[in-house]
Amino acid sequence: MKNIIAFAGSNSKQSINKQLAVYAAMQVKETKVDVLDLNDFTLPMYGIDHEIEHGIPENAKVFLEKIKSSDGVVLSLGEHNGAYATVFKNIFDWMSRIDGKLWSEKPMLLMATSPGARGGATVLEIAKGRFPYMGGNIVASFSLPSFNENFSEGKITNEELNTQLLHKVEEFQNKL
């Protein structure tokens, strides 16, 4: 059986991106899902001086190993001021110091959502532009706009958007 990891680029306990990542991952058939939370991988803020003095922190190594030992990645990015949330950028930067191709060509379903009408489209575009240079193999992407209107009790409530997401999940599943 294939193993995938699902996580959000967020450290919010109520993360809407985590809710979306979990929902999408649960639609992948006959696959074991390991839901990860960046709160369980706390790291010092990346800085070259810290790296020189203390080396690479264990949690960056552990998280990178989670990616490498998976068959695929479901990731939903939070958007802060039109960019990655700091917690995501931080672990991303730390992992990139171990392996510049950190995504390891694992098939990725890349998503974003926000309460706004653009649904994190800006951060999604940033990631779509950058990840391919870093071993990223984005096989499907999806943005869920206006989270609070379109998602409730663990699932997408807007039928059209749900159908779109299920197609993206299928594309992802076919690449596992």
Ligand X SMILES: Cc1cc2nc3c(=O)[nH]c(=O)nc-3n(C[C@H](O)[C@H](O)[C@H](O)COP(=O)(O)O)c2cc1C
Rule CB under 6 A: which residues touch ligand X? 8, 10, 12, 15-17, 78-82, 114-116, 118, 120
* Distances, alpha carbon 47 to alpha carbons 63, 93, 141, in Å: 18, 9, 31
Nearer to ligand X, 42 or 174 (CB): 42
Minimum CB distance to ligand X, residue 19 (Å): 8
Nearer to ligand X, 55 or 82 (CB): 82
Minimum CB distance to ligand X, residue 34 (Å): 19
Minimum CB distance to ligand X, residue 97 (Å): 25
Minimum CB distance to ligand X, residue 94 (Å): 19
Nearer to ligand X, 10 or 173 (CB): 10
Nearer to ligand X, 78 or 135 (CB): 78
